[in-house]
């Protein structure tokens, strides 16, 4: 099987590292075909931050090798998720004069104006990961989604700049290098999530996508098809497990099993008489605990997570103001009562997200936990370009050596995701 027809996504999460190997579709109407799936426990990371490069590299190797054995092809390059909680955003504007004598906007003008928007001051410990164009202005015409082919004199763009921590990006790069994998691109996890989960209608009306992972919770906020804000909070499902372990005075392993089997965010719906026998999970445990008490522990932490999400919504004045409400994905979305608690805390319509189904051996990839890695594969297809045709970086494609094709069709395909 030719390597050019293969896309690999690796979601480097705090709890798990997931790998998908997909075969590119032959036409735009077809779905990518999943031919390899890998999943391994993550060691060497805490709250999305690398604390041991070698352990993370070994975890990546384990996940990738599983996918390679299933697919029957080696992985040499991959798209990688970024899940660090020190991601930050800022709005930037760029402006240029139209290059052609007849005033018609060309793809090269788009590339130049977006590069102009990147000319901003960035802290020494940060670097630009994505430049997301939100809207264009051409002379007196505002809120243009795609100006290519239009005529004018001055072209302006409004961009959302997403920055990541330089040490984090370098450490993740070293982990992949030690695992023998070259990085095609780094994609911030909320952007990968939204491709796999949200519909154009939801993004048009206004929606908050919330991914409650193991070590972090990520948020992407859309309205009128524009990305308003992204954030990654260093609190997630592992904090719930830790709270249960402390509250029940038991091990992390037992606490995790109790959470998965009996977890609930609705203590008021549970009788005080209902008990959980911990001996079923560990022969060394002899006590029985109140199921209602476990639910109270989970409710307290989940409320905190939703309050932190609400704080991010307030930054862009969208708390309680999104018609499509909140879409929740990630492992903790499976906890009973999460949706009800989300509605109560966020004061928004709330639902569990549905992961886009791919072709091939894709049954497992519709699971909530596979949202980010599925999004990486779809991101790669949405933003596929040829290397070496220009030295201008693709907006939103990070700093990992990708290049920009001057093809109008490909450029329009790129902008379609963010500027429908």
Determine the pLDDT at residue 357.
87
Alpha carbons 309 and 151: distance in angstroms, whole number: 42
From 11, 9, 171, select the one nearest 83 (Cα to Cα): 11
Alpha carbons 136 and 133: distance in angstroms, whole number: 8
Determine the pLDDT at residue 361.
78
The CATH fold assigned to 217-352 is Nucleotidyltransferase; domain 5 (3.30.420)
Determine the pLDDT at residue 33.
92
Q: CATH code for 3-85+166-197+355-389?
A: 3.30.420.40
Alpha carbons 123 and 405: distance in angstroms, whole number: 30
- Which residues are paired to 135 by β-bridges? 158
Domain range list for the chain = 3-85+166-197+355-389, 88-165, 217-352
User: Which sign, positive or negative, has the C-alpha torsion 146, 148, 152, 156?
Assistant: positive
User: Which sign, positive or negative, has the C-alpha torsion 308, 398, 18, 46?
Assistant: negative
Task: Give the CA dihedral 27, 30, 36, 39, nearest 10 degrees.
Answer: 120
Determine the pLDDT at residue 233.
94
The packing angle between helices 107-117 and 408-418, to 10°, is: 50
Alpha carbons 297 and 248: distance in angstroms, whole number: 10
Q: Are 155 and 95 in contact (CB under 8 A)?
A: yes
Taking only the tens of pLDDT, the chain with its 420 residues reads: 555 689 999 999 989 999 999 999 887 778 899 999 999 999 999 888 899 999 999 999 999 999 999 999 999 999 999 988 889 999 999 999 998 999 999 999 999 999 999 988 888 889 999 999 999 999 989 989 889 999 999 999 999 999 999 999 999 999 999 999 999 999 999 999 999 999 999 999 999 999 999 889 999 999 999 999 999 999 999 999 999 999 999 999 999 999 999 999 999 999 999 999 999 999 888 889 999 999 999 999 999 999 999 999 999 999 999 999 999 999 899 999 999 999 999 999 999 999 988 888 766 677 888 999 999 999 998 877 433 323 333 334 333 333 333 334 444 444 544 554
Determine the pLDDT at residue 362.
61
- Which residues are paired to 104 by β-bridges? 151
Listing DSSP states for 56-90 in one string gives: HHHHHHHHHHHHHHHHTS---EEEEEE--TT-EEE
Determine the pLDDT at residue 26.
80
Alpha carbons 332 and 320: distance in angstroms, whole number: 22
- Equal CATH topology for 3-85+166-197+355-389 and 88-165: no
Tokens of 49: 């931050």
Class assignment of domain 88-165? alpha beta
Determine the pLDDT at residue 419.
53
């Amino acid at each position: 099987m030719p390597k050019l027809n293969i896309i690999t996504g690796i979601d480097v999460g705090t709890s798990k590292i997931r790998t998908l190997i997909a075969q590119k579709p032959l036409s735009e109407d077809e779905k990518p075909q999943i031919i390899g799936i890998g999943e391994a426990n993550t060691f060497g990371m805490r709250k999305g931050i690398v604390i041991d490069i070698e352990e993370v590299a070994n975890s990546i190797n384990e996940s990738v090798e599983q996918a390679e054995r299933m697919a029957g092809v080696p992985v040499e390059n991959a798209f990688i998720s970024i899940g660090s909680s020190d991601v930050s955003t800022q709005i930037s504007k760029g402006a240029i004069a139209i290059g052609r004598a007849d005033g018609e906007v060309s793809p090269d003008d788009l590339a130049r104006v977006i590069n102009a928007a990147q000319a901003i001051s960035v802290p020494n410990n940060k670097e630009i990961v994505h430049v997301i164009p939100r809207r264009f202005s051409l002379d007196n015409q505002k809120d243009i989604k795609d100006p290519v082919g239009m005529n004018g004199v001055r072209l302006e763009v409004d961009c959302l700049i997403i920055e990541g921590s330089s040490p984090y990006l370098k450490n993740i790069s070293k982990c992949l290098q030690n695992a023998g994998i070259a990085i095609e691109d780094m994609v911030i996890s909320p952007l990968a999530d939204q491709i796999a989960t949200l519909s154009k209608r939801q993004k048009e009306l206004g929606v908050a996508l919330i991914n409650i992972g193991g070590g972090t919770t990520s948020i992407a906020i859309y309205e009128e098809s524009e990305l308003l804000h992204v954030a990654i909070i260093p609190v997630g499902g592992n904090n719930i497990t830790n709270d249960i372990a402390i509250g029940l005075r038991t091990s992390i392993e037992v606490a995790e099993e109790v959470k998965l089997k009996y977890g609930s965010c609705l203590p008021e719906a549970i009788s005080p008489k209902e008990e959980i026998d911990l001996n079923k999970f560990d022969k060394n445990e002899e006590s029985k605990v109140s199921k209602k008490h476990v639910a109270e522990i989970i409710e307290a932490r989940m409320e905190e997570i939703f309050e932190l999400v609400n704080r991010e919504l307030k930054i862009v004045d969208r708390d309680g103001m999104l018609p499509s409400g909140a879409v929740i994905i990630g492992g903790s979305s499976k906890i009973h009562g999460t949706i009800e608690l989300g509605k109560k805390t966020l004061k928004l319509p709330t639902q569990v997200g549905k992961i886009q189904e791919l072709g091939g051996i894709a049954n497992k990839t519709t699971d909530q936990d596979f949202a980010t890695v599925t999004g990486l594969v779809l991101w790669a297809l949405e933003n596929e370009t040829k290397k070496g045709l220009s030295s201008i970086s693709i907006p939103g494609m990070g700093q990992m050596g990708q290049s920009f094709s001057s093809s109008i069709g490909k450029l329009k395909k790129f902008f379609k995701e963010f500027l429908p």
